[in-house]
Structure 1
């Protein structure tokens, strides 16, 4: 009897299995609306960055991020836009920008930092940029920000 037990889906036999759809309320916007919102935010962020308003750009892109299934294009566009803002901010300005963010935006930023770090080769951003932001964000928001980012079920 050659059986590979590691490939058995034990949740299929469990009556009390918790589905991903039961963990959080779905995004009330439809997939098309989410991508349109992401594109509009990306354009607004580019305008803010051209004016030198990095804080405004970051607040704009971190507000109401896309989450849930069927919005991968919007998630990727939002991550790229966040990375653009992070790359365009001077290292000396990071602490002031992080202090100026509301707590919800700080938590969302932490999620994007971890998402950026999870990419193979870290995508288009250097590790020092993400780690620099992570360090300053942790100094300002504390380790609670990390815990909230790790435990939030709404995946970005």
Structure 2
């Protein structure tokens, strides 16, 4: 009797299988263009932070984030730039910054917060920073923000 029947990939035989590329439209930009955009945003964020414009820095990094396959370097660069913004923001300023963001930007911020929490050891940022941002974002944007992020197939 064959006991390895559970290791058979039955999706190979299914005609109606749903592929990841069919779930959402990938980024129309070329991967090199996405990386170039991420580097330009990093420079823009640094200048905005030098002027103490946290809302401007956050808005620029959350605008058109890299999605899809083949842009992992741009995704990592964008995440590190965002973590820099989160680290340099004082806890008292967070509610005002979050209120100034649009709903799409709030949702994208939540995606990055979850991605930061998923990093082993949470990378270069302390857990209290990410959890503090998550708390304030949830208070302002509501639990609908969490639901939209969890159901969105596009990963940052």
* TM-score after normalising by structure 2: 0.96
Q: 1:6 to 1:128 in 2, by over 3 A?
A: farther
- Please list the CA deviations of residues 55-75 of structure 1 after superposition, one character each: whole Å capped at 9, or x if unmatched: 110000000000000000000
Q: How many residues align?
A: 156
Tell me which stretches of 4 or more aligned residues in structure 1 moved more than 2 Å. 1-10
Q: Distance in 1 between matches of 2:15 and 2:132?
A: 45
What does residue 133 of structure 2 align with? 133
Shift in Å, 1:82: 0.6
* TM-score after normalising by structure 1: 0.96
What does residue 60 of structure 2 align with? 60
Q: Distance in 1 between matches of 2:5 and 2:143?
A: 38
Moved more, 74-83 or 2-11: 2-11
Measured on the aligned residues, the alpha-carbon RMSD in Å equals 1.1
Runs of 5+ unmatched residues, structure 1: none
Runs of 5+ unmatched residues, structure 2: none
What does residue 119 of structure 2 align with? 119
Q: Distance in 1 between matches of 2:21 and 2:98?
A: 32
SS of structure 1 residue aligned to 2:91? coil
1:30 aligns to 2:48 (yes or no): no
- Please list the CA deviations of residues 20-79 of structure 1 after superposition, one character each: whole Å capped at 9, or x if unmatched: 000001111010100000000001001111111111100000000000000000000000
Q: Distance in 2 between matches of 1:82 and 1:101?
A: 14
